């Protein structure tokens, strides 16, 4: 398996695969409440079977070129992840996302990892538009979108029903020419 360094602190980005279900479950158990404030991932990874099924879903997406899932490891432990929830190569669009357990927050890990996968999507796969969706209350995720140089396209008011409450969803994006210009 490959690992991509995320900087001098030893953090790494690696594919997250079905055989790693026990590690994903342990990670989710450490950060279940924190991660679940805005996204349903903890609901999907409730036990070993559901963790394995979640990872299989992304293995299938990778095989079909419709999504990707990567884990972020710090200090030798899985602490979060970044993903392309969707990838439409023909249309040139992808939706990126992330999660992180509380012990790893505030270290820039998600921003660094998202840069790697967005760069890959734009430069290697020909993606033209990468979207980032975040609940309006999720200030940390919105800060990542800003650090990535994304533009706020708008707000989908009360569009997201989560745990019995309607949330506003912000849509952020970066286009391939903008991404390349910022890199230069």
Which residue has tokens 């695969």? 17
Model confidence at 29: pLDDT above 70: yes
- The mean per-residue pLDDT over the stretch 54-81 comes to 96
How crowded is the C-beta side of 159, counted as CA atoms within 13 Å?
12
What token pair was written down for 9?
A: 């602190």
State which CATH number among 3.40.570.10, 3.50.50.60, 3.30.565.10, 3.40.630.30 fits the domain covering 4-183: 3.40.630.30
- As a whole number of angstroms, the distance between CA 27 and CA 80 comes to 8
Q: Report the mean per-residue pLDDT for the chain.
A: 95
In 65-162, alpha helices (H): 109-123, 139-147
pLDDT tens, residue by residue, 48-59: 999 999 999 999
* pLDDT of amino acid 1: 62
* pLDDT of amino acid 2: 83
Model confidence at 175: pLDDT above 80: yes
* pLDDT of amino acid 151: 97
Nearest-10 Cα torsion for 20, 6, 84, 52: 10
Model confidence at 184: pLDDT above 90: no
Model confidence at 83: pLDDT above 80: yes
What token pair was written down for 158?
A: 């009360």
* pLDDT of amino acid 183: 84
């Amino acid at each position: 398996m490959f690992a991509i360094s995320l900087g001098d602190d030893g953090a790494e980005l690696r594919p997250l695969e079905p055989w790693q279900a026990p590690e994903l479950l342990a990670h989710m158990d450490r950060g279940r409440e924190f991660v679940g404030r805005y996204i349903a991932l903890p609901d999907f990874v409730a036990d070993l079977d559901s963790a394995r099924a979640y990872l299989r879903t992304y293995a299938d997406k990778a095989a079909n070129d419709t999504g990707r899932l990567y884990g972020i490891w710090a200090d030798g432990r899985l602490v979060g992840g970044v993903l392309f929830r969707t990838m439409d190569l023909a249309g040139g669009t992808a939706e990126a996302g992330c999660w992180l357990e509380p012990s790893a927050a505030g270290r820039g890990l998600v921003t660094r990892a998202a840069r790697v996968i967005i760069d890959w999507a734009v430069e290697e796969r020909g993606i033209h538009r990468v979207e980032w969706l975040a609940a309006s209350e999720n200030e940390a995720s919105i800060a990542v979108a800003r650090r990535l140089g994304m533009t706020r396209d708008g707000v989908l008011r009360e569009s997201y029903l989560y745990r019995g409450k309607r949330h506003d969803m912000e849509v952020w994006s970066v286009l391939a020419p903008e991404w390349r210009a910022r890199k230069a």
